[in-house]
Amino acid sequence: MTRHSAPSVLLREARRRRADLVHGYEWFPAVEAYLGPHLLLGVPIVTTVLYMTLTSFLPRCAPLVVGSESLREYAVEQGFVDVTVLGPPVDVRGDHPGVDGGSFRAEYGLEPDVPLLAVVSRLARSIKLEGILTACDVWRGSVEMAEPSSWSSWKTGR
Protein backbone atom coordinates (compact mmCIF):
# COMPACT_ATOMS: atom_id res chain seq x y z
CA MET A 1 0.00 0.00 0.00
CA THR A 2 1.28 3.45 -0.88
CA ARG A 3 1.41 5.96 1.95
CA HIS A 4 0.75 9.60 1.28
CA SER A 5 1.57 12.54 3.51
CA ALA A 6 -1.33 14.41 5.04
CA PRO A 7 -0.56 17.64 3.13
CA SER A 8 -0.65 15.75 -0.18
CA VAL A 9 -3.95 14.04 0.72
CA LEU A 10 -5.43 17.38 1.76
CA LEU A 11 -4.15 18.93 -1.45
CA ARG A 12 -5.70 16.19 -3.57
CA GLU A 13 -9.04 16.39 -1.74
CA ALA A 14 -9.14 20.19 -1.80
CA ARG A 15 -8.53 20.11 -5.54
CA ARG A 16 -11.06 17.32 -6.18
CA ARG A 17 -13.78 18.91 -4.05
CA ARG A 18 -12.96 22.49 -5.10
CA ALA A 19 -12.69 23.45 -1.45
CA ASP A 20 -13.48 27.02 -0.47
CA LEU A 21 -11.83 26.60 2.94
CA VAL A 22 -9.79 24.00 4.85
CA HIS A 23 -10.08 23.80 8.63
CA GLY A 24 -7.10 22.52 10.61
CA TYR A 25 -8.21 21.32 14.04
CA GLU A 26 -5.22 21.52 16.42
CA TRP A 27 -1.54 21.98 15.64
CA PHE A 28 -0.50 19.39 13.09
CA PRO A 29 -3.64 19.46 10.91
CA ALA A 30 -3.28 23.26 10.80
CA VAL A 31 0.28 23.00 9.53
CA GLU A 32 -0.72 20.27 7.05
CA ALA A 33 -3.54 22.46 5.69
CA TYR A 34 -1.08 25.33 5.35
CA LEU A 35 1.61 23.28 3.61
CA GLY A 36 -0.83 21.58 1.23
CA PRO A 37 -3.96 23.34 0.01
CA HIS A 38 -3.08 26.84 1.23
CA LEU A 39 0.44 27.20 -0.18
CA LEU A 40 -0.09 25.24 -3.39
CA LEU A 41 -3.68 26.10 -4.30
CA GLY A 42 -4.27 29.32 -2.40
CA VAL A 43 -7.19 27.81 -0.48
CA PRO A 44 -7.91 29.83 2.67
CA ILE A 45 -7.46 28.00 5.98
CA VAL A 46 -8.74 28.45 9.50
CA THR A 47 -7.19 26.89 12.59
CA THR A 48 -8.79 25.82 15.85
CA VAL A 49 -6.57 25.18 18.88
CA LEU A 50 -8.30 24.14 22.09
CA TYR A 51 -5.09 23.14 23.89
CA MET A 52 -4.13 25.60 26.58
CA THR A 53 -0.94 26.57 24.75
CA LEU A 54 0.12 27.61 21.28
CA THR A 55 3.17 26.50 19.40
CA SER A 56 5.52 28.71 17.42
CA PHE A 57 5.08 26.81 14.17
CA LEU A 58 1.38 27.59 13.62
CA PRO A 59 0.73 29.71 10.52
CA ARG A 60 -0.10 33.27 11.51
CA CYS A 61 -1.76 34.06 8.19
CA ALA A 62 -4.87 32.04 9.07
CA PRO A 63 -7.76 32.99 11.33
CA LEU A 64 -7.31 31.26 14.68
CA VAL A 65 -10.00 30.00 17.06
CA VAL A 66 -8.93 29.33 20.66
CA GLY A 67 -10.68 28.12 23.79
CA SER A 68 -10.02 30.93 26.27
CA GLU A 69 -9.63 34.70 26.48
CA SER A 70 -6.16 34.35 28.02
CA LEU A 71 -5.02 32.23 25.07
CA ARG A 72 -6.50 34.78 22.66
CA GLU A 73 -4.50 37.54 24.36
CA TYR A 74 -1.34 35.42 24.18
CA ALA A 75 -1.95 34.64 20.50
CA VAL A 76 -2.27 38.34 19.68
CA GLU A 77 0.99 39.02 21.57
CA GLN A 78 2.63 36.30 19.43
CA GLY A 79 1.58 37.93 16.17
CA PHE A 80 -1.70 36.23 15.34
CA VAL A 81 -4.04 38.85 13.92
CA ASP A 82 -7.49 37.29 13.53
CA VAL A 83 -8.16 35.42 16.81
CA THR A 84 -11.60 34.36 18.08
CA VAL A 85 -12.59 32.69 21.36
CA LEU A 86 -14.93 29.71 21.29
CA GLY A 87 -15.26 28.36 24.82
CA PRO A 88 -15.41 24.60 25.40
CA PRO A 89 -18.95 23.17 25.51
CA VAL A 90 -19.24 22.60 29.27
CA ASP A 91 -22.64 22.86 30.93
CA VAL A 92 -21.81 24.64 34.19
CA ARG A 93 -25.38 24.32 35.47
CA GLY A 94 -25.83 20.63 34.75
CA ASP A 95 -22.25 19.65 35.65
CA HIS A 96 -22.00 21.37 39.02
CA PRO A 97 -20.63 19.91 42.28
CA GLY A 98 -24.14 19.55 43.73
CA VAL A 99 -24.92 16.61 41.43
CA ASP A 100 -25.30 13.41 43.45
CA GLY A 101 -22.49 11.05 42.50
CA GLY A 102 -23.79 8.19 44.64
CA SER A 103 -24.72 5.85 41.79
CA PHE A 104 -21.37 6.46 40.06
CA ARG A 105 -19.48 5.81 43.30
CA ALA A 106 -21.46 2.61 43.91
CA GLU A 107 -20.88 1.35 40.37
CA TYR A 108 -17.11 1.82 40.64
CA GLY A 109 -16.69 0.90 44.31
CA LEU A 110 -15.63 4.38 45.45
CA GLU A 111 -16.05 5.37 49.09
CA PRO A 112 -18.63 8.13 49.71
CA ASP A 113 -16.28 10.34 51.78
CA VAL A 114 -13.32 10.37 49.37
CA PRO A 115 -13.20 13.50 47.17
CA LEU A 116 -14.19 12.75 43.60
CA LEU A 117 -12.42 14.46 40.71
CA ALA A 118 -14.04 14.05 37.31
CA VAL A 119 -12.15 14.71 34.09
CA VAL A 120 -14.27 16.03 31.25
CA SER A 121 -12.15 15.36 28.19
CA ARG A 122 -11.92 13.29 25.07
CA LEU A 123 -8.90 11.59 26.72
CA ALA A 124 -6.75 11.31 23.61
CA ARG A 125 -4.04 8.73 24.26
CA SER A 126 -1.31 11.28 23.60
CA ILE A 127 -1.00 14.69 25.18
CA LYS A 128 -4.22 14.86 27.24
CA LEU A 129 -4.09 11.39 28.77
CA GLU A 130 -0.38 11.73 29.51
CA GLY A 131 -0.98 14.99 31.38
CA ILE A 132 -3.94 13.65 33.33
CA LEU A 133 -2.08 10.51 34.41
CA THR A 134 0.97 12.56 35.39
CA ALA A 135 -1.25 14.81 37.53
CA CYS A 136 -2.76 11.71 39.17
CA ASP A 137 0.72 10.41 39.96
CA VAL A 138 1.66 13.73 41.57
CA TRP A 139 -1.54 13.88 43.64
CA ARG A 140 -1.40 10.22 44.63
CA GLY A 141 1.02 10.87 47.50
CA SER A 142 -0.93 13.72 49.04
CA VAL A 143 -4.59 12.74 48.74
CA GLU A 144 -6.48 9.48 48.90
CA MET A 145 -7.18 8.34 45.35
CA ALA A 146 -9.20 5.56 43.86
CA GLU A 147 -9.20 4.83 40.16
CA PRO A 148 -12.10 3.03 38.48
CA SER A 149 -10.90 -0.43 37.42
CA SER A 150 -12.22 0.16 33.91
CA TRP A 151 -9.39 2.67 33.36
CA SER A 152 -6.58 0.15 33.67
CA SER A 153 -7.45 -1.67 30.46
CA TRP A 154 -8.11 1.58 28.63
CA LYS A 155 -4.79 3.14 29.72
CA THR A 156 -2.76 0.16 28.57
CA GLY A 157 -4.76 -0.43 25.40
CA ARG A 158 -5.63 -3.98 26.47
Rounded-to-integer distance, Cα 93 and Cα 54, Å: 29
Interval 64-73: pLDDT, tens? 999 889 999 9
Partners of 49 in beta bridges? 66
Q: What is the pLDDT of residues 30-44, one digit of tens each?
A: 999 999 999 999 999
- For the beta carbon of residue 25, count every other beta carbon within 10 angstroms: 14
Dihedral Cα 72, 78, 80, 81, nearest 10 deg: 90
State the average pLDDT over residues 10-19: 91
29 by Cβ neighbours in 10 Å (0-12 / 13-18 / 19+) ranks as middle
Q: Which residues contact 89 (CB under 8 A, 6 or more apart)?
A: none
Q: Identify the helix (H) or strand (E) that includes residue 15.
A: helix 6-17
Q: Quick one: pLDDT at residue 1?
A: 47
| pLDDT band (50, 70, 90) for residue 78 | very high
* pTM exceeding the 0.75 threshold for the entire prediction: no
What's the pLDDT at 143? Answer: 62
User: How far, in Å, CA of 131 to CA of 60, rounded?
Assistant: 27
Predicted confidence (pLDDT) at residue 150 exceeds the cutoff of 60: no
Average pLDDT over residues 16-29: 91
Domain spans in the chain, listed from the N-terminal domain onward: 6-85, 102-156
